[in-house]
Structure 1
Amino acid sequence: MSLFWRIFLLNAVVVIAATALLLGPVTVSTPVLLTEAAVLTAGLAAMLVANALLLRIGLAPLQRLTQAMTTTDLLRPGRRPTAGGHGEIAELITTFNTMLDRLEHERATSSARALSAQEAERRRIARELHDEIGQTLTAALLELKRVADHAPAGLREELHQVQETTRGSLDEIRRIARRLRPGVLDELGLASALKSLTTEFTSPGLTVTHHLDADLPQLGRDTELVLYRVAQEGLTNTARHAHARTADLALTRAPTGVELRVHDDGHGIGDSPEGAGIRGMRERALLIGADLTVGPAPGGGTEVRLAAPVHAPASDPDRNP
């Protein structure tokens, strides 16, 4: 039965019942008596209440569907309204759930392509920074050293300062290249890459420690890359926004895979909306079917948790044997 006929018949039942009462025990005289007016008022109130209750019951699934439409987030998949009600209402909810399935699949596919292209571009830029600019600066350093060795004493000190500036620029370029595409991840694996990451973010104002289980399961290349990028983004947010003194990075074995945790003792995220960094972490988590939570940590600060399932490791042509 269509929604129109359901509402029409519900209202018709109420009107017919009221008419039957007026034709039967309830009568109206002219002029209207006070008792009759009271009976009519009570009858009208009863009709309105009955109509409201029946419509509330009949349209309750639509309210749940409306709430689901306003709260659905494709970065947090899996939440579906129950296909309750009858007829067109149940069909509408089922269609909405099917649409969500399709949208989540299309978003995951497009995100995978975009992130894959992003990683490829990062790899290309990192290689060019290391091979082209890095080698050019290295050659410039050698030439500066040769010139400084034969320069007068007054000019030699200035050339040494230029050398130090050039050396600092070379170190910065290498650091940027490592962040764009960490060679240690490809060459030595995830554990070594995470240890190197904690060392990189440790500074005079921030101490970063790590705790890595020794019996971690074998992970696929995509899973390792997502874990590394989420850890990198979590520590980047800590260093830039948290005003923290200490941070801890932990990678432990979980019942269904592994769990990554990045915790700091900063001021927390409060009511701040999620930025591009957190949304990027959620998109990466979707690629491997992982569950990401970002929120306040016990005892203060912010905690990032990523529970990643174990997939069969894929071969990587760029990884050295």
Structure 2
Amino acid sequence: MTRAPQPHEPVRKPTAPLSEAAFTLLVQGVLDYGIFMLDQQGYIISWNAGAERIKGYSAAEIVGQHFSVFYPTEDNASGKPQWELETAVAEGRLEDEGWRIRKDGSRFWANVVITALWDDKGQLAGFGKVTRDMSERRAAQHALKERRRLFDHLVQAQETERRRIAWDVHDDSIQAMVAVGMRLQLLADRVPEAYSAELHRLDTSVRGAISRLRNLTFRLHPPGIDRHGLLEALSNHLEDAVTSWGMTYSFEHRLDREPPPETAITIFRIVQEALLNVHKHAYGRTVALLVQSADGGILTRVVDDGTGAPISPGAVHDHFGVIEMRERAETAGGWWSMRSEPGTGTTVEFWVPNPDPVPASTDDQS
């Protein structure tokens, strides 16, 4: 077993360059990459252990065959193998991703690099070819893409249902209660004064309920986010909600690009719930909102100067609003946290990915 150098002990340097035999052993022993050589026409002249593991052929089975045996029928029909060699000669190297065929006939997704090799006279000596099996990474990318599609569908479905409920409340419940309020006012003017005061109290209660329902419809479907984008929607919500609570706010934002609608809605909903918690529980005077691009996503932080309180694990898991915020962030592929101490206020922080738009798939054209 090789002994690791001890502290302050000089590191032993190699006494000679890696020999050709040792280098050959290194290439032959690599398992994660298929490394082999082709002659000038594309026939296989060497084969390493990684190529055998990835493609399934032993050296005895494959050396001497043309490398086009690894390509699907449609690629051979289009002349792709020869085109790749010609491109490698013209440009020095070629890199490609696409389907390749194993010995058993199964397909795998490969990253391939072909490098033209020249002798000391400038003549083409052949090609070096390195192949890596990318099937697992491609499957993970597809799984992530599918998760994103399902997330987008879920957000759209939730917002559609919220919009429907908001419309139903506005067009049915609120209108019915407005009509009740008008009838109470008419009755209050016609009945004896002993009953009139009670009817006026009922009318006040109805007006309060209408106001709360209107606030509910706003929370269910705030105007603007689908037309003006995330930052303007957040700014408008801060002005409308936080100001009406008698608080002041600051809003700092540094986004390198506007998020897609589903991501924008997720961020807005979490901020909306965090601000509502500030209003209900913090007893603070100011709230600060930060939204910025970070680590390929969007980091958002809501900080209040309220009373604060130690947060027990049970409270984090049991409070409905907290559960909703955390689940929204995690469903989007991100994270969420909340920290608070007495006298220092509360900080809600979360991050969600903001992926680049996915281009149209070209898998079948590789």
What TM-score do you get using the length of structure 2 for normalisation?
A: 0.47
Q: In the alignment, which residue of structure 1 is the partner of 2:309?
A: 267
Residue 182 in 1 paired to residue 222 in 2?
Answer: yes
CA drift at 1:125: 0.3
Q: 1:126·1:180 contact (CA, 8 Å) conserved in 2?
A: yes
Q: 1:123·1:180 contact (CA, 8 Å) conserved in 2?
A: yes
For structure 2, the residue ranges without an aligned partner over 5 or more in a row are 1-52, 55-132, 358-366
Q: Which has the higher contact order (CA 8 A, sep 6+)?
A: 1
Distance 2:285 2:170 in 1: 31
Distance 1:106 1:214 in 2: 29
Instruction: From the two aligned structures, give the one with the greater strand fraction.
Output: 2
| CA deviation profile, 1:132-181 (whole Å, cap 9, x unmatched) | 11111112111211221222211110110110111111111111111111
Residue 123 in 1 paired to residue 163 in 2?
Answer: yes
Distance 1:104 1:117 in 2: 20
Residue from 326, 339, 347 that aligns with 1:296: 339
One-letter code aligned to 2:339:
P
Change (3 A) 1:308 1:210: farther
Aligned-partner SS, 2:300: strand
Distance 2:223 2:324 in 1: 22
Distance 1:97 1:214 in 2: 32
Number of residue-to-residue matches in the alignment: 215
CA drift at 1:127: 0.7
Residue 137 in 1 paired to residue 177 in 2?
Answer: yes
Q: 2:303·2:345 contact (CA, 8 Å) conserved in 1?
A: no
Change (3 A) 1:300 1:169: closer
Distance 1:297 1:97 in 2: 40
One-letter code aligned to 2:237:
A
Q: 2:254·2:293 contact (CA, 8 Å) conserved in 1?
A: no
Q: In the alignment, which residue of structure 1 is the partner of 2:12?
A: none
Q: 2:252·2:289 contact (CA, 8 Å) conserved in 1?
A: yes
Change (3 A) 1:215 1:247: same
- 1:26-41 mapped onto 2 (5 Å cutoff): none
Distance 1:310 1:211 in 2: 24
CA drift at 1:102: 4.4
One-letter code aligned to 1:279:
R
Q: In the alignment, which residue of structure 1 is the partner of 2:237?
A: 193
Q: Share of identical aligned residues, percent?
A: 23
Residue from 279, 294, 307 that aligns with 2:326: 279
- 1:117-266 mapped onto 2 (5 Å cutoff): 117-183=157-223, 185=225, 189-190=232-233, 191-199=235-243, 202=245, 207=247, 209-212=249-252, 220-238=260-278, 245=284, 248-252=287-291, 254=293, 259-264=299-304, 266=308
Change (3 A) 1:227 1:145: same
For structure 1, the residue ranges without an aligned partner over 5 or more in a row are 1-86, 313-321
Distance 1:219 1:105 in 2: 16
Change (3 A) 1:237 1:107: farther
Q: In the alignment, which residue of structure 2 is the partner of 1:105?
A: 145
Distance 1:117 1:311 in 2: 23
RMSD: 4.1
Q: 1:184·1:193 contact (CA, 8 Å) conserved in 2?
A: no
Change (3 A) 1:186 1:278: closer
Change (3 A) 1:283 1:127: farther
